Amino acid sequence: MKLTLNVWRQPASQAPGKLETYTLDGVSADMSFLEMFDLLNEQLTTEGKVPVAFAHDCREGICGSCSMMINGQAHGPWAGAATCQLHMRAFKDGDIITVEPWRASAFPIVKDLVVNRGSFDRIIQAGGYVSVNTGGARDANSILIGKDTVEEAMDAAACIGCGACVAACPNASASLFTGAKITHLGMLPQGQPERDTRALAMVEQMDIEGFGHCTLVGECQEACPKEISIDVIKKMNRDYLVASAKRQEPKAASAS
C-alpha cells in the first residue's frame, strides 16, 4: 500500500520542530509499524536526507523503548500493544498517518521522535525497590504468597516503562507508572516494611520531576500497552494517604 506520513522532525532538543510530509510506497500489511519506518528511513537515506530518529530495541513489546503518538493515539490504534507490535494491517492503502513524539515536559525531546524518560528512573530511585542486599536471602519457599495475590502483583509489575500513560494523559501525570510499581511491591510481603516510605517518596518525586496531577481521566489505562488498570492509582493514593497520616502522628507524639 501507499501511505502519506506526517512525521515530527526536530533536529535537536532546543531546536524548533515541525511536521514533514513523506509519501511511502510498497508497504506490506505484514510489516510492523517500525518496519514501515525502516522502509521510510531507507528511502530517506537513498534520497540523501537524514533518517528519522525513533527509539526501539526489542520489537516485541517488552522493552518499552518504542514510543510514538500515531494519529493522536499513544502506540496507535491497537489496544494493549506497543508501537512495535502494531502491524500495518491496521491501516489501508492511501491512509494519511501523523506521527509525533510523546509530549510532556518531564520527557524532553531528544530528537525527532525520541524523548528522554530519565525521570522514570528517578521515580524508581526514590523508593521503587525492596531494600535487600545480595546474599543471605532466606529460602524462597519460606515466604508464602497466594496465587491470586501474586497474579495481581504480576499484573502491575508488567509495566514496561514506556511512558504512553504520561503522553496520553491531558495532565501528563505519571500516576499509572508510579501506581503500578507501588502496587506491585505493596501486594507482596517483601514490600511491606517500606510500604509507607516508598509511597511518600515516589509520589513526591513525581512532583519534583514536573509530572502533572492525576484527575482520574482514564486515558492512561486506554493507552497502556500492558493494560495496567487504573486501580493501581487508587491503591497508590490510598497508600500515600495512609503514609501521610502516619507521618504526622509520630511528629505530634514527640511534640507532646
Partner 1 sequence: MLDLNAKIPSGPLQEKWDQHRFSMKLVNPANKRRHSVIVVGAGLAGASAAATMSELGYKVSCFVYHDTPRRAHSIAAQGGINAAKNYQNDGDSIRRLFYDTIKGGDFRAREANVYRLAQLSVNIIDQCVAQGVPFAREYGGLLANRSFGGAQVSRTFYARGQTGQQLLLGAYSALERQVSLKGVEMHTFEEMLDVVVVDGHARGIVTRNLLTGKITSHAADAVVLATGGYGNVFYLSTNAMLSNTTATWRAYKKGAAFANPCYTQIHPTCIPVSGDHQSKLTLMSESLRNDGRVWVPIKRGDNREPSAIPEAERDYFLERKYPSFGNLAPRDISSRAAKEACDDGRGVGPGGLGVYLDFADAIKRLGKNTIAERYGNLFDMYQRITDENPYERPMRIYPAVHYTMGGLWVDYNLMSSIPGLHVAGEANFSDHGANRLGASALMQGLADGYFVLPYTIGDYIAGTKLAKVDNTHAEFKAAEESVRAQTKRFLDIKGKRSVDSFHKELGKIMWEYCGMARTKEGLTKALELIPALKAEFWSNLNVPGSGDNLNQALENAGRVADFIELGELMCRDALAREESCGGHFRVEYQDAGEAKRNDDDFAYVAAWEFAGEGNAPILNKEPLVYENVHLSTRSYK
Question: Which of the residues 130 through 159 are near partner 1 (CB under 8 A)?
Answer: 130-135, 137-141, 143-147, 150, 153-154, 157-158
- Spatial CB neighbours of 118, under 8 Å, sequence gap ≥ 6: none
Say whether residue 231 binds partner 1 (CB under 8 A).
no
Say whether residue 120 binds partner 1 (CB under 8 A).
yes
DSSP string, 59-85: SSS-S-----EETTEET-SSTT--GGG
Query: CA angle, 198 as apex, 197 and 202 as ends, to 5°?
Result: 120
Binders of ligand SF4 among residues 172 to 211 (CB under 6 A) are: 176-177, 180
Q: Per CB under 6 A, which region of 58-66, 94-102, 123-131, 236-244 contacts ligand FES?
A: 58-66
Binders of ligand FES among residues 98 to 157 (CB under 6 A) are: none
Q: Are 4 and 96 in contact, with CB atoms under 8 Å apart?
A: yes
Residue 228 binding partner per list ligand FES, ligand SF4, partner 1, none, with a CB distance cut-off of 5 to 8 Å that depends on partner kind:
ligand SF4
Say whether residue 61 binds ligand FES (CB under 6 A).
yes
Going across the sheet that includes 69-70, the strands are: 18-24, 3-9, 96-100, 69-70, 73-74
Binders of partner 1 among residues 59 to 88 (CB under 8 A) are: 59-65, 78, 80-81, 85, 87
CA distance 87 to 76: 10
Cβ–Cβ contacts within 10 Å for residue 249, how many? 9
Q: Are 235 and 186 in contact, with CB atoms under 8 Å apart?
A: yes
Site string for ligand SF4, 141-160 (x = CB under 6 A): ------------------xx
Residues lying near ligand FES in the complex (CB under 6 A): 56-59, 61-66, 82-84
Residues of this chain that bind ligand SF4 (CB under 6 A): 159-165, 176-177, 180, 223-226, 228
